[in-house]
Amino acid sequence: MKLYGSDQERVLISLYGAGPADIYGAILRSLSAVLEEKVSPLSLALDQGREEIGKPRRILFDQGLSKLPHAPEFGGMGLPFGVYALAMELAGAADASTAMSLGIHNTVAEAIARFGSADQKKRLLPALLSGKKLAAFALTEPSSGSDARSMRTKAVKEGRYYLVDGSKMFITNAGEADVYLVFAETASGHGAFLVEGSNPGLKVGRELTEKLGMRGSRTAEVRLVKCRVAEDSLLGEEGKGFEHAKELLDSSRIVMGMICVGIARAAYGKALAFAKGRELFGKKLSDLQLTREKVANAATEISAARLLCMHASRLKELQRPFSSEAAQGKVLATEMAARTCDAAVQLMGGYGYTSDDVHRHWRDARLLMIGEGASEVLRMLIASRELERES
Amino acid sequence: MNIVVLVKSAVDEAELRADPAGHPLLMGAATKMSNFDMNGVEEAVRQKEENGGTVIVVTLGGADAKKAIKEAMAMGGTRGVHILADPRGAPDSLGTAYLLAKAIKRLGEVDLVVCSEGASDTYQGQVGAMVAEYLEMPFLAYAKKVETNGGKVTCEQGFEGGVRVLQAKLPAVVSVVSEANQPRYPTLLQVMVAGKKAIEDLPLSSLKSEDYPETGMEVLDVTVQATNRKRVLLDGSPEDASKKLVDALKQEGVL
* Binary contact (B231, A62; C-beta < 8 A): no
Helix (H, G, I), strand (E, B) or coil at B212: coil
A97-122 burial string, b = 16+ CB within 10 Å, else e?
A: bbbbbbbbbbbbbbbbbebbeeebbe
> How high is the pLDDT of residue B27?
78
B226 to chain A, any CB pair closer than 8 A? The answer is no
Interface of B with A in 162-201 (CB under 8 A): 185-189, 191-192, 194-196
Q: What are phi and psi of A261, to 5 degrees?
A: -60, -45
* Binary contact (A77, B14; C-beta < 8 A): no
**What's the gap between Cα A17 and its chain centre?**
27
Q: Indicate if the pLDDT at residue B140 is higher than 90.
A: yes
Question: Which chain B residue shows the shortest CA-CA distance from A23?
Answer: B195
Domains in chain B and their CATH numbers? Answer: 2-207 (3.40.50.620), 225-255 (no CATH)
Q: What are phi and psi of A91, to 5 degrees?
A: -65, -40
Best residue in A27, A31, A32, A90 to probe B by mutation, most B CBs within 10 Å? Answer: A27
Where residue B121 falls among pLDDT bands split at 50, 70, 90?
A: confident
Q: How far apart are CA A370 and CA A334, in angstroms?
A: 9
Helix (H, G, I), strand (E, B) or coil at B170: coil
Q: Indicate if the pLDDT at residue A391 is higher than 80.
A: no
**Per-residue pLDDT reduced to its tens digit, A181-214:** 999 999 999 999 999 999 999 999 989 999 999 9
**Per-residue pLDDT reduced to its tens digit, A70-112:** 999 999 999 999 999 999 999 999 999 999 999 999 999 999 9
Measured between beta carbons, the chain A residues lying within 8 angstroms of B30 are 5-6
Min CA distance, A214 vs chain B (Å)?
A: 26
Give the closest residue to A213 by CA, choosing from A316, A42, A365, A54: A365
Question: Which chain A residue shows the shortest CA-CA distance from B193?
Answer: A23
Q: Indicate if the pLDDT at residue B123 is higher than 90.
A: no
Min CA distance, B11 vs chain A (Å)?
A: 13
> How high is the pLDDT of residue B234?
83
Residues 6+ apart with CB under 8 A from A10: none
What is the overall mean pLDDT for chain A? 96
| pLDDT above 90 coverage of chain B, percent | 67
- Among A92-96, B9-13, B119-123, the range with the most confident prediction by mean pLDDT is A92-96
Question: Which chain A residue shows the shortest CA-CA distance from B67?
Answer: A26
Q: How far apart are CA A108 and CA A229, in angstroms?
A: 17
Best residue in A2, A30, A37, A38 to probe B by mutation, most B CBs within 10 Å? Answer: A30
Min CA distance, B2 vs chain A (Å)?
A: 27
Q: How far apart are CA B98 and CA B86, in angstroms?
A: 16
| E strand or H helix that includes residue A171 | strand A161-172
Instruction: Give first-to-last CA distance, chain A, whole Å.
Output: 47
> How high is the pLDDT of residue B13?
79
* Binary contact (B191, A79; C-beta < 8 A): no
Measured between beta carbons, the chain B residues lying within 8 angstroms of A277 are 229, 231
Q: What are phi and psi of B83, to 5 degrees?
A: -90, 110
How many residues make up chain B in this entry? 255
Question: Which chain B residue shows the shortest CA-CA distance from A21?
Answer: B195
Q: Which of A2, A23, A277 sits opposite B192 (nearest CB)?
A: A23
Query: Residue A65: is it exposed, middle or buried by C-beta count within 10 angstroms (0-12/13-18/19+)?
Result: buried
Residue A232: CB atoms within 10 A of its CB come to 13
* Binary contact (B189, A278; C-beta < 8 A): no
CATH for the stretch A135-238? 2.40.110.10
| pLDDT above 70 coverage of chain B, percent | 98
Q: What are phi and psi of B241, to 5 degrees?
A: -65, -40
| pLDDT, mean of residues A307-313 | 98
What is the overall mean pLDDT for chain B? 92
* Binary contact (B15, A67; C-beta < 8 A): no
Where residue B225 falls among pLDDT bands split at 50, 70, 90?
A: confident
Indicate the class that CATH gives domain A6-130: mainly alpha
CATH topology of domain A242-388: Butyryl-CoA Dehydrogenase, subunit A; domain 3 (1.20.140)
> How high is the pLDDT of residue B20?
87
Asked about A372 being catalytic, the answer comes back as yes
Question: Which chain A residue shows the shortest CA-CA distance from B64?
Answer: A22
Q: How far apart are CA B171 and CA B132, in angstroms?
A: 10
ipTM entry = 0.91
Type of residue at A222: V
Are the C-beta atoms of B181 and B42 separated by less than 8 Å? yes
Q: How far apart are CA A38 and CA A257, in angstroms?
A: 23
* Binary contact (B188, A351; C-beta < 8 A): no
| pLDDT, mean of residues A352-358 | 92
The DSSP result for B5-63, as a single string, is EE--EEE-TTT--B-TTS-B--TT--EEE-HHHHHHHHHHHHHHHHH-SEEEEEEEEST
> How high is the pLDDT of residue B253?
83
Q: Where are the alpha helices (DSSP H) in chain B?
A: 35-51, 65-74, 93-105, 127-135, 188-196, 204-207, 238-251
| pLDDT, mean of residues A52-60 | 96
| Domain locations in chain A as residue ranges | 6-130, 135-238, 242-388
Best residue in B33, B35, B192 to probe A by mutation, most A CBs within 10 Å? Answer: B192
Q: What's the sign of the alpha-carbon dihedral B40, B42, B48, B54?
A: positive
Q: Which of B67, B188, B194 sits opposite A64 (nearest CB)?
A: B188
